[in-house]
Amino acid sequence: MDQQSAQQELQQLRSQLNQERTAYYTNDAPLVEDHVYDQRYERLLALEKQFPQLVTPNSPSQLVGGQVLPEFSKVSHEIPMLSMGDVFSWQELEEFNQRIKKAVGHAVDYCVELKIDGLALSLVYQQGHLQQGSTRGDGQIGEDVTKNVRTIKNIPVDLPQKVDLEVRGECFMPKESFQKLNNQREQDGENVFANPRNAAAGSLRQLNAHVTQARDLSTFIYTVVEPAVLGVTTQAQALEKMQAWGFHTNVDYFVSHDLEGLQEFIEKYQTLRNDLPYGIDGIVLKVNDLALQQQLGNTVKVPRWEIAYKFPPEEAQTKIKEIVWTV
């Protein structure tokens, strides 16, 4: 392909993807299924890799999330809330592992977690008291949803110690609550939500906290922004400590050395995903050592020390799974 054709295709892709991003992130009303968006986005990345001179600052490859709604007060994230790189095959996971080994000079342990299908949430505590809750927004500026997060039952309002702390995690709506909510909305002649992820986002991003309270939202917390405050040095320790401090963390994780046991974990949850009470769209592989995470750092959009392995969409699952494990 020559540069001019690439330029034309890129312009079309960017315009389409940006429309879809606004619908998904800002309006909580997606125009297309995730795997359709993902395929278009992968095409954009492939073209930008071939023609790096055509990358523009407003390309979706350089942007995190979406714009905040003007009705909300804005919260500035001192440490940006980033997106996450994703892969779709075992071969790409191995390439990620090779990149990590090359960068740090040896094999590492990974903390392997489920990728919860919700929206990212930041919780800030001052002197051990919940002070602020905010959405990711565009990664730098999020929406203030403090009143709303106070209505979510499994978010602790007070911590066991009077420390300043920021944790981050996923806000989601359990599948059963999503079904009930949509049934009710249908009966009331209201628009239904496309999926639990959009229902969670639409329910958290409410100006009236009573509406949020009436929806059954939940959280899994997975990141501590200042690990030293909790005295932890690995991601697995952070999960344990956060749980001990009253946060709702997901216990379905394990520590893998150099991709050991990872294939079984992926296969297990690819099969189990329909039976879980909450939505997952893949698994996340994180370098377990928090000092190494710091050393590896981030690109403008994603941390270099973690990657998501995305599950194939439900209908194409069997076919793609065969391809994945034979590459």
Rounded to 5 degrees, what are φ and ψ at 243?
-65, -45
User: Which CA distances in Å does 170 have to 52, 183, 222, 241, 283?
Assistant: 33, 24, 8, 17, 14
CB of 289 to ligand NAD, least distance (A): 16
Residue closer to ligand NAD (CB basis): 14 or 115 = 115
Residue closer to ligand NAD (CB basis): 47 or 201 = 201
CB of 176 to ligand NAD, least distance (A): 20
HEC string for 9-77:
HHHHHHHHHHHHHHHHHHCCCCCCCHHHHHHHHHHHHHHHHHCHHHCCCCCHHHCCCCCCCCCCCEEEC
Residue closer to ligand NAD (CB basis): 180 or 320 = 320
Helix pair angle (196-204, 175-187), 10° resolution: 80
List interacting residues with ligand NAD (CB under 6 A).
20-21, 24, 30-32, 34, 37-38, 65, 83-84, 86, 113, 115-116, 120, 136, 170, 222, 284, 308
- Name the active-site residue from 101, 115, 175, 241: 115
Question: What are the residues facing 285 on neighbouring strands?
Answer: 112, 307
CB of 153 to ligand NAD, least distance (A): 20
Residue closer to ligand NAD (CB basis): 113 or 289 = 113
User: Which CA distances in Å does 3 have to 10, 44, 62, 313?
Assistant: 10, 14, 20, 33
Identify whether 115 is a catalytic site residue: yes
CB of 284 to ligand NAD, least distance (A): 4
Catalytic residues: 115
